């Protein structure tokens, strides 16, 4: 299954990319291996990489008001959640 579900009726953007013959050969082989259309294969791989890159982003930008709210939330004591305390007191499948 592709990492991204693609439906033709939602396709409105267009990307175009030049690649070396070797890159094209390898990408086409990968698409064939997965029995998927080349464009679906490329979009799926690019989307997966973009999702990972964005998830790895560590810098956030906040205006002064948002920074105050964020800082206050970080400074508040944590709430005790009995269900979580119970869950984390149990041994995991790796500890048995």
Q: Is residue 49 situated within a structural domain?
A: yes
- Give every CB contact of residue 62 below 8 A, 6+ residues apart in sequence: 70
Closest CA to 18 of 6, 27, 8: 27
Q: What is the pLDDT of residue 1?
A: 44
Count of structural domains, the chain: 1
| Domain extent for 33 | 8-89
Structure letter (DSSP) for residue 70: H
Number of residues that this document lists for the chain: 96
Checking if the pLDDT of 77 tops 80, the result is: yes
As a whole number, mean pLDDT of residues 17-42 equals 96
Checking if the pLDDT of 72 tops 50, the result is: yes
- Give every CB contact of residue 43 below 8 A, 6+ residues apart in sequence: 4, 6, 15
Q: Tell me the pLDDT band of 56, cut-offs 50, 70 and 90.
A: confident
Q: Is residue 2 situated within a structural domain?
A: no
As a whole number, mean pLDDT of residues 69-95 equals 92
- Is the pTM for the entire model greater than 0.85? no
Q: Tell me the pLDDT band of 2, cut-offs 50, 70 and 90.
A: very low
Q: Phi and psi of 60, rounded to 5°?
A: -125, 150
């Amino acid at each position: 299954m592709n990492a991204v579900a693609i439906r033709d009726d939602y396709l409105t953007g267009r990307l175009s990319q030049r690649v070396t013959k070797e890159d094209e050969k390898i990408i086409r082989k990968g698409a064939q291996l997965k029995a998927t259309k080349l464009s679906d294969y490329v979009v799926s791989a690019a989307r997966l990489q973009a999702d990972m890159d964005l998830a790895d982003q560590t810098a956030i930008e906040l205006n002064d008001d948002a920074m105050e709210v964020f800082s206050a939330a970080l400074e508040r004591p944590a709430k005790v959640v009995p269900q979580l305390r119970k869950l984390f007191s149990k041994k995991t499948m790796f500890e048995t």
